[in-house]
Amino acid sequence: MKFRLLVFYIIYSGILFVCFPLVMAYFLYRSRKDPRYRENFSERFGFGESPAGCVLIHTASIGEFRGSFPFIQQLLDRKQKLVISCLTPVARSYACTKLSHEIEAGLVVVRYLPLEYFMAFRNFFSKNKPKLVLICELETWPIFIASCYYRKIPVYLINSQITHEAMQRVGIITRLFGHPVELVSGVAAKSSEHAANFRSMGQRNVVPVGEFRFDQVIPQSHIKSGKAALSLINRRKRPVIGFSSVIFGEADIYINSMKSLKEFSEEKSIVKPLYVFVPRAPEVFDDLFKKISESGLSVIRRSEGFSEDLQPNASIDWNNIDVLLGDSFGEMYFYLKLCDNVVAGGGFWHAGAHNIIEQIQLHKPVTVGPEIWTIKFPAHQAEEAGLLTVVKDPSELTSNLRLMLESNVNDRFSRDKFAKFLKIYAGASNRALAMLENKGLI
């Protein structure tokens, strides 16, 4: 490790030490709405064991786990034992459910990643000896990476990206001290642009492989359930507009748009739309239900309107329902199947827009707000192909949706247009595996 990077670690770990009470306060605050934050808390300090010689894969959130699942499945097919680490209770719970058979068979352990403290990782590595560490998506945990580096455990960033905006935010620190990405063994980047950014930050072993989400297997049970549900909940053939992975801070924009579109349809004497509104975080389900209700829109929760196996409740007057609130996780393909068009969440929030690939997989035209820096790939490519519309502000969003309602056109493009786009970008998980196999790591 270079001296200047060592100086960074001294400063960084000192700041984290001072902030430790705030870190604990954060978990206490989150646990007030989601008690699962208090469960298995010892894992966050490095306690808990896993099989020796395993591959540790860090997927911080449920989105990162789902996006990396094709890659995870291929590792399991190669008889690799895995430790899946997460940050959120939702991701941990979902991973446990998705891999329940493998967990029972002793092939997979799901746990929380230790907090960013050398002491926590010392505890972890005293009981766990992974042969390889893979960190997914945007994550670059400096102390996690350094802890592996000092123990000579190879670390690869996979399905990874670093945007120009992110580089600018850490630009001064990088110029002064370097960047922890220098310590990793290699990077499987999402695109050539991301690969160039990683190289400019000091990492030379970078291969652009693409985005794992293009390899996701669509759960056919969700597709069948969605198709069957439409015959009951949308007998009047209303246009169905989806809002996926909505951030609480931007929810008012979408609620106002839904309300405006309903009023517009009444003024024009056209069929009013049905909305499918899917929040990103479970702790806001109740608050958003209240917000939508108070706006004057008729709303029903998925947990009230559907059975566990996604059968709609026939006793509900669905013609008078404006909004279906998706208060569940792991059912995104079901929600998307209900929709004609989808607005991807995060586009009006400073943290950036969320995944658009699942929508494209189901051949749904997508609209998103201006904050697309987090999904530049494949957003620019999808926009060029005519599958994605980027709007500059909430007014343009509502105007575009009004045009769609008034013209009674749902922008259903040919299957060939979507299929061609998806084919171009498929195979990223295979390319990442080949990169690791060539190094003799799996």
Q: Using 50, 70 and 90 to split pLDDT, how confident is the model at 63? A: confident
d(CA 200, CA 194): 10
- Weakest mean pLDDT among 6-10, 41-45, 366-370, 412-416: 412-416
Burial per residue of 251-277, b for 16 or more beta-carbon CB atoms within 10 angstroms, e otherwise: bebbbebbbbbbebbeeeeeebbbbbb
| Share of residues in the chain with pLDDT > 90 (%) | 84
Residue 281, token pair as written in the block: 């975080």
d(CA 279, CA 384): 28
Return the sign of the alpha-carbon dihedral for residues 141, 143, 145, 148. Answer: negative
d(CA 82, CA 53): 9
Mean pLDDT (whole number) for 291-303: 97
Please give the pLDDT value at position 164.
Answer: 82
**Which of 282, 277, 284, 291 has its CA nearest to residue 244?**
277
Domains of the chain: 28-210+427-438 (3.40.50.11720), 220-424 (3.40.50.2000)
Tens-place pLDDT, residues 36-62: 999 999 999 999 988 889 999 999 988
Q: Please answer whether residues 143 and 13 qualify as being in contact, where contact means their C-beta atoms are separated by less than 8 angstroms.
A: yes
- For 309, other C-beta atoms within 10 Å of its C-beta total 7
Question: Is 60 exceeded by the pLDDT of residue 2?
Answer: yes
- For 22, other C-beta atoms within 10 Å of its C-beta total 9
Between the CA of residue 58 and those of 65, 68, 158, 374, 439, what are the distances in Å? 8, 10, 10, 19, 20
Q: Please answer whether residues 239 and 265 qualify as being in contact, where contact means their C-beta atoms are separated by less than 8 angstroms.
A: no
Neighbour order of strands in the sheet with 108-112 = 108-112, 82-86, 55-58, 132-136, 155-160, 186-189, 206-208
Angle value at C-alpha 90, between 87 and 92, nearest 5 degrees: 60
Is-above-0.85 flag for pTM? yes
Tens-place pLDDT, residues 307-354: 999 999 999 999 999 999 999 988 999 999 999 999 999 999 998 999
Question: Is 70 exceeded by the pLDDT of residue 408?
Answer: no
- Weakest mean pLDDT among 75-79, 172-176, 285-289: 172-176
Q: Please answer whether residues 83 and 52 qualify as being in contact, where contact means their C-beta atoms are separated by less than 8 angstroms.
A: no
251-267 and 285-294 helices cross at what angle (nearest 10)?
Answer: 30
Residue 203, token pair as written in the block: 């990492």
Between the CA of residue 321 and those of 229, 293, 297, 299, 317, what are the distances in Å? 14, 11, 8, 6, 7
Tens-place pLDDT, residues 82-105: 999 999 999 999 999 999 999 999
Q: Please answer whether residues 397 and 257 qualify as being in contact, where contact means their C-beta atoms are separated by less than 8 angstroms.
A: yes
For all residues of the chain together, what is the average pLDDT? 93
Mean pLDDT (whole number) for 187-196: 94
Mean pLDDT (whole number) for 399-416: 77
Tens-place pLDDT, residues 198-242: 998 889 999 999 999 999 999 999 999 999 999 999 999 999 999
- For 125, other C-beta atoms within 10 Å of its C-beta total 17
Q: Is 427 exposed, middle or buried (0-12, 13-18, 19+ CB in 10 A)?
A: middle
Please give the pLDDT value at position 44.
Answer: 97
Mean pLDDT (whole number) for 282-286: 92
Tens-place pLDDT, residues 118-144: 999 999 999 899 999 999 987 779 999
Please give the pLDDT value at position 170.
Answer: 81
Please give the pLDDT value at position 413.
Answer: 59
Q: Using 50, 70 and 90 to split pLDDT, how confident is the model at 168? A: confident
Residues in the chain: 442
Q: Using 50, 70 and 90 to split pLDDT, how confident is the model at 442? A: confident
Neighbour order of strands in the sheet with 366-368 = 299-301, 323-325, 274-279, 240-246, 341-344, 366-368, 388-390
